[in-house]
Amino acid sequence: MQAYLARIDEYEASYNAFTSMNPNALAEAREIDRRRRNGEVLGPLAGIPVVIKESMDYVGLPTTAGWAPLSSQAAGGIDLFPIKNSVVVARLINAGAIILGKTNIPAFSDDGTRANSSWAGPTYNAVDRGLVPGASSSGSATAVAANFAVLGLAEETGGSIQNPAGAQSLVGIKTTFALVPTTGIVPLAASTRDVVGPIAKTVHDAAVLMDVLAGYSPDDPKTSAAIGKLPPNGYTSQLSKTALCGKRIGLYGQGWRLNALSPETQALYDAAVEELEIEGATVVEDPFIGRGFADLALAGEPYDMRGTESVAYDFQQYLKGVTYQGVVVGSIDGLSAITGVSPFAQNGGPLAWYVDKLPVLASSLSHPDDAPDLSGFWSLRDQYLNTFNSVMEDNDLDVLVFPQTYDTIPALIGDGTYPATAESAINIAALPGVVVPAGQYSDGAPFSLIFIGPRWSEAALLGLAYDYEQATHHRIEAELTP
C-alpha cells in the first residue's frame, strides 16, 4: 500500500485518475498485516489495492457523478454522501480489498470517449497522455494502467468498460446484464443496460475479481436472473493455454456493424486472426451478413441510447440512498431544490439530450416514482438476442472475436468519438464481452480484441481470452511522465 501511495504521489498530478482518496487506506493495510500475522483466515483480495468508479457509493466519501453541482470542490457545488456502500463495494470490502480511492468520470458517465466534462477536469491516458483515456470509467483504467492500483471497478451503459480497457491496453469485462449488482451506483440505465465489471492488467486478475462481484443480491432484484448462471468452479476455472484449440470464431464484418475497419485496423486484425488460428481456432468470415443484425442499430445516431428511458425512474430510486447535510435527498425534485438545477434541465443539464430523444423518458420525468413503460426496449432486446443466438447456432460458433475499435484511438483534445465495434449492440442485447490487448497502432495507440459470447458465458470467454493473452503478451506497459 505504501508503494502504491508513493507512486500516486509522484505521478497522479500528470494523469488525474482520482476524484477522492480513502484517508484510511494505510491503516486498513496495517490491520490486514496484523490479521495475517495472527493467522486469521483472510478474504481472496486481502490487502489488494483497488480503485472504484466515482459513481459507486462508498461510505465516508461523496458521490458526485462527475457533475460540478454535486461536488463542493467545484464553485457552488454541494456534497452528497451515501447511507451505505454500493453492493459491489461492500463485496470488495468483505473480500479484504482496500479501496484506495474513487476515480474520475465524465458528468453522469455520459461520454464513452473522455472524462473532460468532469468537475475534476480531464483524465489522461497512461499509455499516451495525448490520447483519450476511454470513458466513462476513465479514472479506473488510468489508475490500473499507471500502476496506481492492482484492480479497478468499472461500470458500463454503452462502452464504459470496454472502451477504457481498449484505450489503455488492459483487460476489461463487460458483464452480462444482471450478473453483477448495480444498486448504490449513480445510474444511466439501471433497469435495462447498466453493468459492473473489472478492469485489470491480466485475464487472471480480472477473473479473480469476477468471483467476488458476481451473483444475486437481495438489494438488487434483477440479479435473481443470475441464480444458477455462475460457473460452479468459479471464473478462473476455464483459464487454459489450450482453450482456443478446436473453437469456432466468428469474425467482424458489416453484417454486425456498418462501420468498415480502417486499413491499419484491418492489418492488425488480420495478424490477430492468424494468432488465433495458430492456437488452433477455426474462423468464420462475417457470419452476420444478410441476417439483419446491423440494421437493428439506430440509424443516423453515433450512439444508440435506447434503454435510457429508465434513467429518471432509476435516478429517483438512487436518490433515496444519499443524504445532503444528514437529510435524505429522496427525489429528483429534492435534488433540484438543493442544487438549483436538475441534470435533466434543458439549459445545460447533462441528461437533457436523452429527454429530447426519448419520449418515454420525457413522460417518465413527470412521475419518476413509477416504473416507465419499457416494452419497446424489451422488444428490441428480443430482436437482438434472437438474431444473435440464431447466427451463433447456425454457424456452430463458440465466440465472436472482433477488433475492439474500427480505427485508432482519438486524440484527447478534439471531438473525435471512440470508434468501438461492439457498442451499443452488446449493451442492448445484454451480452458479455472480454477485452484483451492485441497489439499497437503505428501512432502508439493500443489495439485490442473483444471476445463476445452468449449471456452468462463470462467463464468461457475468459478462458479463450487467457489463451490468446498467454500466447501473445501484447499488453503495453505504461511509461509515466512525472
How does strand 248-251 pair with strand 282-284?
parallel
Residue 302 has pLDDT above 90, yes or no: no
List the catalytic residues: 53, 136, 160
301: pLDDT confidence band, cut at 50, 70 and 90? confident
pLDDT of res. 348:
87
Which pLDDT score, from 0 to 100, does residue 447 have?
98
Which domains can be identified in the chain, with CATH numbers? 2-307+374-472 (3.90.1300.10), 308-373 (no CATH)
DSSP 61-128: B---TT-GGG-TTSTT----EESS--HHHHHHHHTT-EEEEEE---GGG--SS--TTSTT-----SS-
pTM equals 0.98
State what percent of residues in the chain have pLDDT above 70.
100
Give the C-alpha separation, 265 to 405, whole Å: 8
Q: CB-based burial of residue 22 (10 Å sphere; 0-12 exposed, 13-18 middle, 19+ buried)?
A: buried
Span 64-109, pLDDT tens digits:
999 999 999 999 999 999 999 999 999 999 999 999 999 999 999 9
Task: Name the residue with cell 457533475.
Answer: 67
Q: Beta partners for 401? A: 251, 451
Question: Which grid cell is 436?
Answer: 484483451
Distance between CA atoms of 318 and 361, rounded to whole angstroms?
A: 16
DSSP letter assigned to residue 175: P
Summarize the confidence of residues 356-377 as an average pLDDT: 97
119-123: average pLDDT: 98
Instruction: Report the amino acid identity of residue 414.
Output: G
Tens of pLDDT, residue by residue over 26-65, are 999 999 999 999 999 999 999 999 999 999 999 999 999 9
- Please enumerate in sequence order all residues whose Cβ is within 8 A of that of 37, keeping only pairs 6 or more positions apart, or say none: none
CA–CA gap between residue 439 and residue 101 (Å, rounded): 30
Mean pLDDT of the chain: 98
